[in-house]
């Protein structure tokens, strides 16, 4: 028998796309169209409805970038259409991009209530079903002229906030053209035929050629196409469906893979659009979702990111009420447990705790739901403290998809236990479909089944379906596919169910799943550790200032009755959490987003500064003596940790540079540092250890410039070949001594760098204060420290601990980690001696190792200081920057932890007369008090969060600076344990609490003050 496979497949494509699908809306009549162009930022619905409209016709050009236009659509249903399903079909100028990457619209009735949204993959308005002949209708479409910035990743300034939105200048030319707007009959039988052929054709193409089922489907499709009358699609659709019915009725094999399909719409809280547009995307997506639920009671939709629902509640309460209605019916499923889907490399530990706290509380307060999953499909890697944080917040399951983007190694599991640095394990899943925006196609299902890594012992996976990134969500076409694929021979079984049901089933099916220990490193998007430095600095500064504001406000509340600023701190925390979203903090959004973030961080800094100042003034009292506050968790310069004292001695000053040959020496009796005429550190000598830190002949604080033009994603990626070319910045314009140290000025290209290198008295830390006027393009700036150390691993700070990574490249997994994340410190050492580099805003680091001709080993630590990508923000990182880093000579892990905090939490001094006893103190340097605050329930209890920071067992006595009525260990949400929950026991005696902590254990204590003070 001769094969007709290719001929029939080609025939199916053409008939389905050019005849059958257009025939779904074949009977049409025109409608009346009018437009009003909003003059600036989006307006309220009432303003849009009341605006003066002008008639327009098809072909009308509208919509300068980022503008909003309102369309009024009106007409009359033809009398002969009585009893039929009638829809308006609209093309606002849609292109072939995904649902949320070009123009979108939200449809309103004349009373302002919402109908549904419009986008390139969802372009209809339900008018009547069944229709009443002669009935008039009017709808209003709030259309957003969002530019498509996702094609080809071409640098463009269209991502800037246009000046005309605030009344300056004139708008750009329109982006879009109104291409279709008419009233149509929706032909149900033709639509169903299209779905039948779509599903069977998709399945057929994915089956092996040796599988008889493939050829049976081919034959059924050919017979159905023979029945279709191309001049009368509607009249022949029912007969063609009858031909296909046996093929659709054949059940799946008993052992077919089970795919738990959950509706989803990943909505980037900002990316190629500003925050204000995300608010509208949420309203559009959820209006579509709730509309679909009306027609499909079995449809379930999972949504993460509490922030987006909070926006909806505030700005579109009518849509939010629909969401709550569907949640009560069990169709809308809040998931994720987080305020936003944050970057989890750069976000600080306490911030991640607050992401969980505020996310879970929102779902509890608004929906009565205790979410049990962390839903992070699109974040760029996951640090190794996350399992413990999840467990402490009551999270049982973890889902991501992004690790499937690895460019070097394929992750070996799809269902597994993830073990963190403290030993906590969380049951985890990567959907093998390799997308969080599935459309339930035959190709996707076949890929998921073949790709599933755990098929020997498990047979279940998750399928998140719906248009995402720019929102949009599931469509009726996707639900039609799911219905047909629920039990279909040759296919996986598709079952619409909740993530919780999937995880319960998967856990029961595979309780002894394999274990992955340590971080989930994404072998891609490594440049997000460095891009958009100002955004990262704003976050780091805000995190530390929030810590200070809470500490001193709580201390002042206990000591003086100061009014604790609950509302302000709650609002400021949520603002900072919002900007930790995984396309804001990583630096991968358009210019508008990052400029707005810089403005927001500046306002946050001002307000937190005022809150801290008010609390400290209440504590310091009246007087003119200098009261020095130390918010760091370690004592320094005679000031206790978390307390304040009258200045016990003159402030620490840098040592004076001493000329030596053609350079200078900085010597404080602990370390001796030589700086040559080029401004490079040529010696860093540990006097007590009698040891040189630097490799022979090498220079530290060597600034190096690389070409930086990755193959695909500018702001996201550093590709390994950047190392192939390097330009050492050896020439200095000037190197001179001054009171504060040695000042070095360098110019290169169009840029200028000025550094002040200083060595404080009584410190092993060489400070490097750097100001950069940066005007390079597609360049990467690094600072190198080549150490005479044979280090088998580096130790990098992550939230609530540190992680060790090999310095060798024995395996492809090791080699792929050529750019790594560290927070406040990165440490390198061998037995008995080590060194660390601390920083105030740098996250990208690199460690390489070479054996010298003399047999020694040079281990080079490099910080990634600045980049200059051109997409999606062509001016990323241009302009003036100030950043600081320090070289700690002769340091162990304890030194690195302590210096990292000290470098980021400077002392504050103001006039007064009172010393301030710390509210809590510990007697172990390994136990770090991260947070001191008042309980969120306003009970007056004091909440203390601490952790073991060195990676070993620790015993400590936590002493309170107030009478203690009780002490209890809680979860992250400050909830006391129920009887029998097995939370860590706390032994309290008077003002002392005895604690024993495991390596890297995080502990939250709720302390109830007793009478007196």
DSSP state letter for 257? P
Peptide bond into 872 cis (omega under 30): yes
DSSP 655: P
Cα(961)–Cα(312) distance, integer angstroms? 44
- Residue 527 dihedral angles phi and psi, to the nearest 5°: -70, -15
Output the CA–CA distances (angstroms, integers) from residue 665 to 655, 673, 696, 701, 729, in the order listed: 10, 6, 18, 15, 21
Q: Where are the beta strands (DSSP E) in 193-319?
A: 258-263, 301-303
Which two tokens mark 495? 């079952």
Cα 835 from Cα 826, distance rounded (Å): 9
Identify which of 192, 252, 392, 122 has the alpha carbon closest to the alpha carbon of residue 945.
Answer: 392
Joined tokens for residue 81: 């259409």
In terms of Cβ atoms closer than 10 Å to its own Cβ (0-12, 13-18, 19+), residue 328 is exposed
Distance from CA of residue 512 to its chain's centroid? 30
E strands, 647-717, where? Answer: 658-660, 663-667, 671-675, 681-686, 691-692, 702-707
- Residue 29: CB atoms within 10 A of its CB come to 14
3-state helix, strand, coil in the chain (%, to 5): 30, 30, 40
Judge contact between 60 and 177, C-beta under 8 A.
Answer: yes
Pick from 750, 717, 723: which is nearest to 587 by CA? Answer: 717
The verdict on whether 378 is a catalytic residue reads yes
Strand partners, 139: 73, 109
Q: How far is CA 689 from the centre of its chain?
A: 44
CA–CA separation, 506 and 504 (whole Å): 6
Cβ distance 117 to 105 under 8 Å?
Answer: yes
**Which is the catalytic residue, given 378, 717, 719, 971?**
378
**d(C-alpha 929, C-alpha 631), whole Å:** 10
Contact between 441 and 463 under an 8 Å Cβ cutoff? The reply is no
Structure-token match 């940790």, residue found? 641
**Which residue, among 565, 567, 537, has the nearest Cα to 552 in the 3D structure?**
565
Pairing outcome for strands 857-867 and 825-830: unpaired
As a whole number of Å, the end-to-end CA separation of the chain is: 95
CA 421, CA 141: separation in Å to the nearest integer? 52
Rounded distance, CA 548 to CA 544, Å?
Answer: 6
Just list the catalytic residues: 378
């Amino acid at each position: 028998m001769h094969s007709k496979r290719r001929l029939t497949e080609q025939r199916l494509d053409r008939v389905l796309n050019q005849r059958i699908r257009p025939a779904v809306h074949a009977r049409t009549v025109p409608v009346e169209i009018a437009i009003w162009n909003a003059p600036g930022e989006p307006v309220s619905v009432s303003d849009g409805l009341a605006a003066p409209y002008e008639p327009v016709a098809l072909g009308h050009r509208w919509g300068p970038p980022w503008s909003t236009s309102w369309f009024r659509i009106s007409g009359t249903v033809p009398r002969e259409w009585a009893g039929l399903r009638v829809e308006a079909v609209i093309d606002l100028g849609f292109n072939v991009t995904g649902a949320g990457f070009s123009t979108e619209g939200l449809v309103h009735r004349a009373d302002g209530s919402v109908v549904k949204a419009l986008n390139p993959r969802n372009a209809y308005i339900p008018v009547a079903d069944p229709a009443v002949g002669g009935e008039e209708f009017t709808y209003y479409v709030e259309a957003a002229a969002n530019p498509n910035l996702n094609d080809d990743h071409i640098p463009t300034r269209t991502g800037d906030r246009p000046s005309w939105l605030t009344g300056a200048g004139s708008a750009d030319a329109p982006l879009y053209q109104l291409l279709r707007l008419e009233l149509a009959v929706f032909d149900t039988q033709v639509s169903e035929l299209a779905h039948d052929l779509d599903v069977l054709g998709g399945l057929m193409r994915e089956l092996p050629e040796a599988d008889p089922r493939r050829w049976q489907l081919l034959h059924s499709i050919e017979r159905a196409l023979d029945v279709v009358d191309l001049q009368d699609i509607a009249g022949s659709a029912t007969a063609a469906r009858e031909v296909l019915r046996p093929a659709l009725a054949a059940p799946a094999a008993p052992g077919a893979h089970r795919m738990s399909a959950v509706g989803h719409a990943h909505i980037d809280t900002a990316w190629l659009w500003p925050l204000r547009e995300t608010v509208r995307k949420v309203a559009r997506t959820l209006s579509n979702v709730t509309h679909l639920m009306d027609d499909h009671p079995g449809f379930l939709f999972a949504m993460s990111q509490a922030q987006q629902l909070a926006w909806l509640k505030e700005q579109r309460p009518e849509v939010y009420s629909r969401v709550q209605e569907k949640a009560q019916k069990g169709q809308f499923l809040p998931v994720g447990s987080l305020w936003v889907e944050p970057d989890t490399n750069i976000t600080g530990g306490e911030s991640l705790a607050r992401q969980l706290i505020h996310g879970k509380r929102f779902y509890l307060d608004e929906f009565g739901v205790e979410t049990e999953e962390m839903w992070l499909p699109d974040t760029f890697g996951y640090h190794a403290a996350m399992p413990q944080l999840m467990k402490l917040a009551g999270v049982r399951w973890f889902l991501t998809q992004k690790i499937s983007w690895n460019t070097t190694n394929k992750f070996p599991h799809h269902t597994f236990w993830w073990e963190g640095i403290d030993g906590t394990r969380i049951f985890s899943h990567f959907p093998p479909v390799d997308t969080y925006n599935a459309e339930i196609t035959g190709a996707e299902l076949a890929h998921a089944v073949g790709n599933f890594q755990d098929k020997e012992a498990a047979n279940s996976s998750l399928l998140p379906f719906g248009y995402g990134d720019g929102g949009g969500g599931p469509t009726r076409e996707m639900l039609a596919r799911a219905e047909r694929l629920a039990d279909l021979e040759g296919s996986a079984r598709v079952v619409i169910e909740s993530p919780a049901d999937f995880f319960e089933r998967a856990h029961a099916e595979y309780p002894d799943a394999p274990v992955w220990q340590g971080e989930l490193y994404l072998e891609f998007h490594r440049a997000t550790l460095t891009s958009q430095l100002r955004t990262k600095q704003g976050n780091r500064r805000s995190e530390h200032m929030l810590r200070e504001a809470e500490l001193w406000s709580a201390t002042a509340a206990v000591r003086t009755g100061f009014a604790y600023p609950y509302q302000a701190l709650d609002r400021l925390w949520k603002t900072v959490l919002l900007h930790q979203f995984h396309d804001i903090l990583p630096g991968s959004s358009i210019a508008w987003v990052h400029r707005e973030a810089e403005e927001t961080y500046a306002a946050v800094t001002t307000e937190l500064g005022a809150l801290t100042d008010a609390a400290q003034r209440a504590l310091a009292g009246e007087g003119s003596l200098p009261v020095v506050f130390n918010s760091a968790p370690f004592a320094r310069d005679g000031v206790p940790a978390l307390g304040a004292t009258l200045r016990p001695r003159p402030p620490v000053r840098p040592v004076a540079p001493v000329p030596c040959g053609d350079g200078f020496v900085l010597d404080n009796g602990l370390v001796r540092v030589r700086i040559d005429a080029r401004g490079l550190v040529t010696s860093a000598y540990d006097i007590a250890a009698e040891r040189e830190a630097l490799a022979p002949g090498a220079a530290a604080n060597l600034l190096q410039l690389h070409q930086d033009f990755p193959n695909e994603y500018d702001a996201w990626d550093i590709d390994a070949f950047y190392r192939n070319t390097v330009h050492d910045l050896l020439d200095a314009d000037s190197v001179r001594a001054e009171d504060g140290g040695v000042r070095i000025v360098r110019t290169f290209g169009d840029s200028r760098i000025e550094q002040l290198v200083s060595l404080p008295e009584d410190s092993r830390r060489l400070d490097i204060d750097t100001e950069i006027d940066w005007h390079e393009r597609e360049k990467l700036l690094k600072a190198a420290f080549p150490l005479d150390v044979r280090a088998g691993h580096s130790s990098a700070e992550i939230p609530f601990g540190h992680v060790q990574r090999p310095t060798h490249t024995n395996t492809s997994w090791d080699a792929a980690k050529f750019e790594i994340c560290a927070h406040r410190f990165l440490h390198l050492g061998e037995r008995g001696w080590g060194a660390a580099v601390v920083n105030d805003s740098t996250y990208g680091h690199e460690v390489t190792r070479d054996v010298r001709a003399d047999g020694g080993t040079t281990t080079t630590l490099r910080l990634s200081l600045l980049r200059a990508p051109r997409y999606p923000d062509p001016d990323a990182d241009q302009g003036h920057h100030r950043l600081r880093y320090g070289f700690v000579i002769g340091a162990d892990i304890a030194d690195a932890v302590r210096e990292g905090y000290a470098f980021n939490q400077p002392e504050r001094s103001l006039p007064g007369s009172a010393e301030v006893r710390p509210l809590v103190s510990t007697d172990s340097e390994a136990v770090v008090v991260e947070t001191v605050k008042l309980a969120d329930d306003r009970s007056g209890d004091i909440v203390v969060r601490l952790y073991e920071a060195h990676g070993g067992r620790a015993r400590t006595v936590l002493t309170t600076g107030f009478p203690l009525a009780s002490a209890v260990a809680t979860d992250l949400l400050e909830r006391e344990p129920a009887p029998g929950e097995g939370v860590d026991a706390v032994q309290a005696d008077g003002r002392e609490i005895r604690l024993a902590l495991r390596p890297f254990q995080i502990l939250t204590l709720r302390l109830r003050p007793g009478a007196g003070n």
